[in-house]
Structure formats: structure tokens, C-alpha cells
Amino acid sequence: MKGNWIADYPQMETGETGSHSSEDTEQDEVEEYEVKLEAEHSLESRLLSVIKALHRIDAGTYGMCGTCGNSIPMERLQANPAAEFDIEHQS
Ligand SMILES: [Zn+2]
């Protein structure tokens, strides 16, 4: 499977005869892509948490642990308003 990951980057400019500077540019672009991808995943998961929190407000279960039903401490909700579980049942 060695080298297969390269196939996931169709925009990669492999045609140019590689001076060192263009290789560096490709490397930077890949790193930038990975950073953006990571940021996107992080934002998407936060968005999902917020949407779920809004659903819990609708359902009247906001602020209650999704596992045991105990109320989540206010200080925890202030730190993370989308918290779905109490400290005991997080993760
Ligand atoms: Zn709990």
C-alpha cells in the first residue's frame, strides 16, 4: 500500500520537473490541506454537538446527562454549553 495516499490528492502538480522550491510548495499545500481538514472536522463535530443540544432544549432534556439523566453542573455547561454528559459519563 506504500504511496497510495498520494492518489488522494488529484490536484498535486507532479508534471513539473521538480526544483526544490516546487517540492517545498507541494509539501506546504499538503500540510495546509491537512490543517484545514482537521479544522473542518473539529468545527463539524462542534456544530453537531450544538445541534444536538438544541434538540435537547426542544425535548426538555437540556442540561441532563445523556447516560444517567443527572443534571450537568452549571459550571460545566458554562464551559461547554453543548455538553451532553456529566463529568462522570463524558467521552
Ligand atoms: Zn451521567
**Ligand 1 centroid from CA 72, angstroms:** 8
User: Does the predicted TM-score (pTM) go above 0.85?
Assistant: no
- What's the pLDDT at 16? 57
**Looking at the DSSP assignment, which residues form a beta bridge with residue 71?**
64
Amino acid, res. 43: L
- What's the pLDDT at 15? 60
**Ligand 1 centroid from CA 70, angstroms:** 6
**Ligand 1 centroid from CA 83, angstroms:** 11
Ligand 1 ion: residues within 5 Å (CB): 65, 67-68, 86, 88-89
Per-residue pLDDT tens for 1-49? 555 555 555 555 656 555 566 778 899 999 999 999 999 999 999 999 9
Contact indicator for 85, 65 with CB cutoff of 8 Å = yes
Nearest residue to 29 (alpha-carbon basis) of 44, 13, 46, 48: 13
- What's the pLDDT at 91? 77
- What's the pLDDT at 24? 85
Q: Give exposure, 62-80, as e/b (b: 16+ Cβ within 10 Å).
A: bbbbeeeeeebeeebeeee
